Amino acid sequence: MAQILIVGGSGTVGSEIVKTLKAEGHSVRVATSKPTTEAGKMHVNLLTGDGLDAAFEGVERAFFLSPGGYADQYAILAPLIAKAKEAKLKKVVLMTALGVEGAEGSPMRRAELDLIASGIPYNIIRPSWFSQNFVNFWGYGIKTANTIALPVGDGKAAFIDSRDISAVAAKLLTDDSRNGQEYTLTGPQALTHTEVAKIIADATGKPVTFKDISPDELRPVLVGAGIPADYVELLLVLLSYIKAGYTGAVTNSVEEILGRKPRDFRSYAKEAADSWK
């Protein structure tokens, strides 16, 4: 059976794609940045290309994303797309980010254009900010200080549960009826961070609030957490888009593809409540 390659298959989105595809009976290969001897997983260094040839052997379809922490995602994604073209894959699903199509010359947009020009049947998905970020990235401040402190003002974002992104990606990987389509993926409602804080407070019983801070206040916090300086600057730019009002649009793409509505943030908060206590 031909395999489906999942790049980033140990991450938040990729691991759920793997789970879904295996449950459906597909043969899945996970490309991971960490050395492994686990069956079905292969070590691939996306910076050097080590392990890339072996990862593509016997593969017909693939999911690509750029792992977090790298500002120049084109340097990561371009070799993957080139290898997919060389291997004559039957389908690639590429995950970039909300609004990339309007940022001509940006690393992710350049990768999208490479895929579009490659001749490979494809889908591109551009998710909004993840609901899971409030556990994985901003959870420490919520747990220890009952505060979400970000430079986003009253800007809204249509937060999406990463499991909905994974479900969409898994569906598109095995369904060629939508080839060539590009989708912006959002949750069902755009929220300010003040509204998010209130929802988390309701779910946890804690007095969680939102504090609008400046980028200069957040920068040393992110650098101190070990995030590379160039990636910190990218994050600050992306956060500025929320404040500027560029991330509040809601789409019906998840429902169109999956035939059900996406999970809302209130449902996620109830489920994740213990993570903030």
Report which secondary-structure segment, H or E, holds 256.
helix 253-258
pLDDT tens for each residue of 38-69: 888 999 999 899 999 999 999 999 999 988 88
Domain spans, the chain? 3-126, 128-161+186-249+259-277
First-residue to last-residue Cα distance in the chain: 45
The mean pLDDT of the chain is: 95
- 128-161+186-249+259-277 adopts what CATH topology? UDP-galactose 4-epimerase; domain 1 (3.90.25)
Q: Residue 162 carries which DSSP code?
A: H
Identity of residue 270: K
Q: Full-prediction pTM beyond 0.75?
A: yes
Q: Is the pLDDT of residue 1 over 80?
A: no
- 3-126 adopts what CATH topology? Rossmann fold (3.40.50)
Tell me if 160 sits within 8 A of 127, measured CB to CB: yes
Task: Give percent of the chain with pLDDT exceeding 90.
Answer: 90
